[in-house]
Amino acid sequence: MNIRLLTANDLPRLRKFWRENWSDEFVVAHGVIYHPDTLDGFVAFDGDEWVGEVTYTFSDVECEIVSLDSLREGQGIGTKLINAVVDESKKRNCKRVFLITTNDNLHALGFYQKRGFELVAVHRGAVNESRKIKPGIPLIGMNNIPLRDEIELEMNL
């Protein structure tokens, strides 16, 4: 498995990847709609197969991670993708990397905290608002937990 930067040529495949893994070609977080063509990212690949992706966006001195997926869990893919974004953020002199995950995603909450991210905010009911824009967001999320809130995590650089 290796990783490389996403390019414009990857957009159709990234859209398909999001459709298959996040139910649509866009992601909604804190009221903002993110489309793949406005984001930077890395893809993890094994031969012709995509086994993971991360997308992110820079604004001023911050980097926001918009999506992170690993299709082969427990093999270091997620860690490698996160490290690549953190390295890129340092190169651009960012002061922090942050992301939104959801209240049901207990695995992601553990994963990020073990890698140096800290919980900074709970945005109560924010997913209920996102669902108005993206009705495909389920009412019941991972671990059979009602999917309601956004949780913000950050790493200060």
Ligand X SMILES: CC(C)(COP(=O)(O)OP(=O)(O)OC[C@H]1O[C@@H](n2cnc3c(N)ncnc32)[C@H](O)[C@@H]1OP(=O)(O)O)[C@@H](O)C(=O)NCCC(=O)NCCS
Return residues touching ligand X (CB under 6 A): 68-70, 73-79, 99, 101, 105, 107-108, 111, 114
C-beta of 51: minimal distance to ligand X in Å?
A: 8
Residue type present at position 106: L
Strand 118-123 and strand 150-156: the pairing is antiparallel
C-beta of 148: minimal distance to ligand X in Å?
A: 16
Alpha carbons 138 and 144: distance in angstroms, whole number: 11
- Cβ-proximal residue to ligand X, closest one: 78
Q: How far is CA 9 from CA 15, 37, 79, 145, in A?
A: 11, 10, 25, 37
C-beta of 152: minimal distance to ligand X in Å?
A: 11
- When the beta carbons of 91 and 114 are compared against ligand X, the nearer one is 114
Alpha carbons 53 and 30: distance in angstroms, whole number: 21
Q: Could you tell me if 68 and 54 are in contact, meaning their C-beta atoms sit under 8 angstroms apart?
A: yes
- When the beta carbons of 94 and 153 are compared against ligand X, the nearer one is 153
C-beta of 28: minimal distance to ligand X in Å?
A: 13
30: helix, strand or coil: coil
- When the beta carbons of 82 and 94 are compared against ligand X, the nearer one is 82
- When the beta carbons of 84 and 94 are compared against ligand X, the nearer one is 84
